[in-house]
Amino acid sequence: MYDSHAARKIAESRALDSADQEIIVKAMDDGIETVWDRFADQQPQCGFGQLGVCCNRCAMGPCRIEPFGKKPTRGVCGATADLIVARNLLDDLSTGAAAHSDHGREVLEVLLDTAEGRSQGYQILDEEKLQTVAAEYGIQTDGRKKEEVAGDLARAMLEEYGTLKNRIQMTERAPQKTKDAWKNAGIVPRSVDREIVESMHRIHMGVGADYANILLHAMRTSLADGWGGSMMATEGSDILFGTPTPCTSLANLGTLSSDQVNVVLHGHNPILSEMIVKAAEDPELVKRAAEKGAKGINLVGMCCTGNELLMRHGIPIAGTLLDQELAIATGAVEVMVIDYQCIFPSIAHTAGCYHTRVVATSAKSKVPGATYMEFRPETGLDTAKEIIALAIENFPNRNPDRVRIPAKPVRMMAGFSEEAIKKALGGSYKPLIDAIVAGSVRGVVGIVGCNNPKIKQDYGHITLAKELIKRNILVVETGCAAIASGKAGLLVPEAADLAGDGLKAVCNAVGIPPVLHMGSCVDCSRILVLAAHVADELGVGIGDLPLGGAAPEWYSQKAISIGTYFVASGVYTVLGIPPKIFGSQNVIDLLTSQLDGIVNASFAVEPDPMKAADLLEAVIEKKRHALGI
């Protein structure tokens, strides 16, 4: 047991947000093991692993390379440090690309089921987007029912996963100059599954032995994610559930309710959670909750399933990756519904310390100790109602003596899809472009990605975002980075007071925050589309724009794919957590400088967010100079 002062100090070292700190102290008081405890237990972490020079790829290994030039300098098969590092990176990136893209495939399958009348509770909500995307695919829309068009579109998009035409349609959205760079480098993605499968082939022992060739394929695979699987996830979700428009909501663990049934929706895919939103409004279930003594049913989001619901419905968001155990430690969660990705494998173990039930819903993501209620599109709404009923039944099991909910959720805005940003600007990007050309806004940076116990939760995101807006750089965000900004109060128009005079004037004129929440991790594709539109209006490539990207606290293989498709698309990107590449100077050189000559962008690694702001600003100013603005 910690004394309260020591516990407070530990909590302050783990998280920036005071609501998080409060529950970290409670978790310690309750004797709950969290991610920070397990991280401490793992110290010191393996130096070979951190450098990326260990290989466990075949049964002649495991092998590791001595980083200081001593023996062994090659694995049993003869692989060098360069090759081992590059193969490990491609392995991680492809895992991330697969996760995003498989999520996209499931959305499209529900779209097809809905078009063909097989799903339960779903409908096609955004007909305008349906028509626009269908036109891109050359699908006839005139005089046809929306279900017919949606069926053709879903089939065309599903075909992109293994297409024989060697081209993913949505890559056509990129500016010509950007596409030319891909073509010259030989990294135009051919189909989603093909690039990922080929990655797996290339990293098998005895296939790719040239680290540079492997890294070029990493770029191609990431493009198949960003301009393929992720973009299709975003567009398919918009067509089914509506394209987000600006909305207000609340953030942090204080969004949990002391007198309502609390259901936390955690993971990434919105297809089931959209049905849970409907089920929670069912009068019969609302009545049943009242009979159990609850004042209602309170849905809150977590991670990117939370972001999807926040963007489209204004459902409050309880937190990020590192908040999942803390939400349970409030003692106030009846059910945590999980789909997949970013769910701690120990989450049901944590829930076992309280009355919380974890409900797993995907056949791909079963979790020991969780109740399994399989989601299927044809029974989606029924399953959602069963989950809400389970939460209601569990409400009387809540022990009020073990409940602690932070007092104050923070007000925030979300819903800034690319379309919504354009609309907020008056229907065209001209006001933003004019402000950039005039210099009142110097450029735009996308801050994306996760939390990681290697850095105080949210410190990297918030320090960087505040510093950039102070320097008149507009910030757009997705994923846990956006949730962090919500908790820190940066996602409201009043936060423009923290911005430099130029950005502040633009935000005040348009009525937007200086940090815009653009959605979930797959919605990084919205940032690509925004960049493509602005580049097209200026007649340049994405790599010519005063743009930057940052992932200050990333942990996930998906973030490697996102960072790489940003760079491959021409966006200079700074990573706050060092990737596992430092065992190879050649890989470092290629990723941090040589890529500039190929895609007009590169990576940097900078753990200090203030220095990261300097790097991003310098690149933005360099691009401005080259554009003559």
Which stretches of the chain bind ligand MSK, using CB under 6 A?
268, 303-304, 320-321, 342, 449-450, 479-480, 520-521, 556, 558-559
Site string for ligand SF4, 15-54 (x = CB under 6 A): ----------------------------------------
Among 62, 293, 345, 539, binds ligand SF4 (CB under 6 A): 62
Among 205, 389, 390, 505, binds ligand SF4 (CB under 6 A): 205
CB of 269 to ligand MSK, least distance (A): 11
333: alpha, beta or left? (left if phi > 0; alpha if psi -120 to 50): beta
Q: Does 580 sit near ligand SF4 (CB under 6 A)? A: no
CB of 303 to ligand MSK, least distance (A): 4
Q: How big is the CA angle at 474 (ends 494 and 97), to the nearest 5 degrees?
A: 120
Q: Does 57 sit near ligand SF4 (CB under 6 A)? A: yes
Q: Does 55 sit near ligand SF4 (CB under 6 A)? A: yes
Residue 485: which of 517, 443, 450 has the closest Cα? Answer: 517
CB of 46 to ligand SF4, least distance (A): 15
Residue 266 belongs to what H/E stretch? strand 261-267
Q: Does 390 sit near ligand SF4 (CB under 6 A)? A: no
Residue 574 belongs to what H/E stretch? strand 573-575
Q: What are the structure tokens assigned to 225, written together?
A: 């994610």
CB of 626 to ligand MSK, least distance (A): 32
CB of 95 to ligand SF4, least distance (A): 17
Which of ligand MSK, ligand SF4, none sits in contact with 63, Cβ below 5 to 8 A by type? ligand SF4
CB of 236 to ligand MSK, least distance (A): 17
Tell me the site size for ligand SF4, rule CB under 6 A: 14
Instruction: Please give the residues from 71 up to 110 whose contact with ligand SF4 meets the rule CB under 6 A.
Output: 75-77, 79, 84
Asked if residue 44 has a cis previous peptide bond (ω within 30° of 0), the answer is: yes
Q: Does 61 sit near ligand SF4 (CB under 6 A)? A: yes
Q: With respect to ligand SF4, which residue has the nearer C-beta, 66 or 497? A: 66
Which of ligand SF4, ligand MSK, none sits in contact with 62, Cβ below 5 to 8 A by type? ligand SF4
CB of 313 to ligand MSK, least distance (A): 18
Tell me whether residue 522 is exposed, middle or buried, using C-beta atoms within 10 angstroms of its C-beta: 0 to 12, 13 to 18, 19 or more. buried
Which of ligand MSK, ligand SF4, none sits in contact with 57, Cβ below 5 to 8 A by type? ligand SF4
Q: With respect to ligand SF4, which residue has the nearer C-beta, 95 or 371? A: 95
CB of 560 to ligand MSK, least distance (A): 10
CB 548 within 8 A of CB 624: no
- Return the range that interacts with ligand SF4 (CB under 6 A); candidates 55-63, 99-107, 580-588, 605-613: 55-63
Report the alpha-carbon distance of residue 41 to residue 34 in Å, rounded: 11
Report the alpha-carbon distance of residue 319 to residue 175 in Å, rounded: 36
Which of ligand MSK, ligand SF4, none sits in contact with 60, Cβ below 5 to 8 A by type? ligand SF4
**Angle between the 146-159 and 127-136 helix axes, to the nearest 10 degrees?**
50
**Angle between the 146-159 and 81-115 helix axes, to the nearest 10 degrees?**
160
Among 30, 50, 58, 611, binds ligand SF4 (CB under 6 A): 58
CA count, 13 A, side-chain hemisphere, 313: 21
CB 487 within 8 A of CB 513: no
Helices (H) and strands (E) in the chain, counts: 27, 16
Q: With respect to ligand SF4, which residue has the nearer C-beta, 57 or 404? A: 57
Q: How big is the CA angle at 273 (ends 269 and 278), to the nearest 5 degrees?
A: 150
Q: With respect to ligand SF4, which residue has the nearer C-beta, 52 or 443? A: 52
Q: Does 209 sit near ligand SF4 (CB under 6 A)? A: no
Q: Does 63 sit near ligand SF4 (CB under 6 A)? A: yes
Q: With respect to ligand SF4, which residue has the nearer C-beta, 88 or 298? A: 88
CB of 78 to ligand SF4, least distance (A): 7
Report the alpha-carbon distance of residue 627 to residue 538 in Å, rounded: 10
Q: What are the structure tokens assigned to 247, written together?
A: 């909305």
Asked if residue 72 has a cis previous peptide bond (ω within 30° of 0), the answer is: yes
- Please give the span between the terminal C-alpha atoms of the chain, in angstroms, as a whole number: 60
Tell me whether residue 531 is exposed, middle or buried, using C-beta atoms within 10 angstroms of its C-beta: 0 to 12, 13 to 18, 19 or more. buried
Residue 79: which of 202, 220, 221 has the closest Cα? Answer: 202
Which of ligand SF4, ligand MSK, none sits in contact with 558, Cβ below 5 to 8 A by type? ligand MSK
Q: With respect to ligand SF4, which residue has the nearer C-beta, 209 or 353? A: 209
**Which residues sit at the interface with ligand SF4, rule CB under 6 A?**
55-58, 60-63, 75-77, 79, 84, 205
